[in-house]
Amino acid sequence: MKPYRVLLYYIYSPIENPEQYREEHHLLCLELNLLGRVIVAPEGLNGTVSGLAADCDAYMDTLRNDPRFAGIEFKIDESDEHTFQKLHVRVKKEIVHSDLPVDPLRQTGIHLEPDDFKRLKNDPNVVLVDMRSNYEHSVGKFKGAITFDMENLRELPEHIHEIEHLKGSDKKIITYCTGGIKCEKASAYLIAQGFDNVYQLHGGIIKYGMEAGGEDFDGECYVFDNRVTVPVNHVNPSVISTCHRCGTPTSRMVNCASPACNNHFTLCEACGLDHQGTCSDACKEDPELRPYDGTGYYGKETLSYSPLQGFKSRQGQPLTVEIK
């Protein structure tokens, strides 16, 4: 068993004073030596963090013991080390930025557990719809799924016409995403737009891989940490993406070593070395080119970073918060 854990979670549950809770939550992460990204919003909590197993257990226990988050679910993976370089706990308007006029606490698609999804996914009366960004589904998606060429969930309304033919049909629409959070709003939006028989994969691709083996998920799943992509399918794995440079099959996704570009793209190991981790010859000539270390993951400049950063009151004094 590996020493570190990676936790992926979200919960829609009203938080009355997000700014105050952000400070409490930031301190909790500091106390437990966790790194990662956490979003606090009036509508709830969304995060991905990494830390030692015991620290992650204490973190989960603390959240579950808070009445607001009693129903929270964690997707738990193992790692040899931290999968993040920093800790950021931020207040935002939404826990997943969508600008969709829906409330997941009022209505969403019917939640399907992984085993139920596995049973239904190949039914000819079922249509799978990927709610992730284009660079995510380019490296991995379910067989036969409909995908949209969108950069983020805010663009979903611009692509509804692509599945308009499903309105009024007897087809079951099953939406899916990485961890389930986007589908809470995406499925609600489809219902609001007049679609019937709308379902969503509860816990997303990650939970499906962990609990049901990941069958028929082609390629790998894009994740928002140092790993970039992770394998999901332990039954019939395949590779669907090709190297941007040479065209050989690869699921290896990187960020371009040119900071001016920083695009996500697939790159085989050989081309990574030959082209210094860049997506084009023009990027290779960038005078600010970052050294390519073989991973293709570049954290932002950390020279002045401290995990205590931002943990100050409006008067600039350290805050003391009791964590129970």
Burial class (CB in 10 A: 0-12, 13-18, 19+), 108: buried
What letters, b where the CB count within 10 A reaches 16 and e where it falls short, cover 113-142? ebebbbebbeeeebbbbbbbbeebbbbbbb
Task: From the candidates 56, 177, 256, 283, give the one annotated as an active-site residue.
Answer: 177
* CB contact at 8 A, 212 and 117: yes
Bridging pattern class, strands 198-201 and 110-112 = parallel
Is residue 177 part of the annotated active site? The answer reads yes
- Number of residues assigned to the chain: 324
E strands present in the chain? 4-12, 35-41, 44-52, 73-79, 87-91, 110-112, 126-130, 140-142, 172-176, 198-201, 217-219, 221-222, 229-230, 253-255, 264-266
* CB contact at 8 A, 204 and 177: yes
| Active site residue ranges | 177
